[in-house]
Amino acid sequence: MKICITQTEPIKGDINRNIEKHLQFIERAIKSKADAIIFPELYLTGYEPELAKNLATDINDQRLDVFQKISDDNQILIGVGLPTKIGNGTCISMLIFQPNSPIKIYSKKYLHPGEEKFFVPGENLLPFNYKNNKLGFAICYENSIPEHSKKIYDQGANVYIASILNSINSVDNDIRRISAIAEKYQMTSFMSNFVGTSGGYRCAGKTSIWNNQGKLLEQLNPVNEGIAIIDLNTQETTKIQL
């Protein structure tokens, strides 16, 4: 199984243009024969808490149908971040499109201090099987919550994927934490981050892949968009910086 993670700069609040950017990255992943591609936190809108309520949507949004079609046609899992509506507010979520399967929703349960002004805690999706691997997910701040990563491990995941927005001032803390998670729980681990500016943050890039001993196998630079891919069977990695 090949997993692709992206490093991207969003267009503030513009879902349609960000969908177009998604499609360009997905095309590159398909050409590289990836089985899955994951984008950073809230990438469909950018990380824009003050805009999230008005931009929030749900799985019935027809603008998102293109992801399901690509997933079906190319046998690729696609994870896209966006704000979603629930009864009492707005969640930070990832929609996971799988070939010929219902959409899965992973929502951030552990909010970063300050996010509660704009978002409500959601329901985490438990790790699930995909192409002979068990995938567990985290959104940003959740990688700092020990019980979160332990639960993913206890549920049998061998892959840990963190979709984040992190700034140049704090990204190295996430890098250390996710490396430690990979080593402690013997999970191949990923961090997908922004570049550019979003939500007032100068984003740090350094999108990374670690093996299940916590060794860094691949890392993108701090400034350019791109993708990083690992073949879980051979442990070979590739990257494309744009």
Report pLDDT digits (tens) over 15-60.
999 999 999 999 999 999 999 999 999 999 999 999 999 999 999 9
Residue type, 42: L
> What pLDDT sits at residue 203?
97
- What's 210's domain CATH number? 3.60.110.10
- Contact between residue 33 and residue 2 where contact means Cβ atoms under 8 Å apart: yes
- Checking if the pLDDT of 61 tops 90, the result is yes
- Contact between residue 43 and residue 81 where contact means Cβ atoms under 8 Å apart: yes
- Checking if the pLDDT of 107 tops 90, the result is yes
- Checking if the pLDDT of 177 tops 90, the result is yes
Per-residue pLDDT tens digits for 220-231: 999 999 999 999
> What pLDDT sits at residue 228?
98
Task: Measure CA of the first residue to CA of the last residue in the chain; give whole Å.
Answer: 24
How would residue 165 be classed by pLDDT, with cut points 50, 70 and 90? Answer: very high
Q: Determine the Cα–Cα distance for residues 113 and 28; give it in Å rounded to an integer.
A: 36
CA distances 149 to 4, 95, 117, Å, are 21, 20, 25
Average pLDDT of the chain, as a whole number: 97
Q: Determine the Cα–Cα distance for residues 141 and 1; give it in Å rounded to an integer.
A: 27
Map tokens 């060794």 to a residue. 215
> How many structural domains are present in the chain?
1
- Checking if the pLDDT of 209 tops 90, the result is yes
Q: Determine the Cα–Cα distance for residues 205 and 187; give it in Å rounded to an integer.
A: 22
Domain housing 113:
2-241
- Checking if the pLDDT of 88 tops 90, the result is no
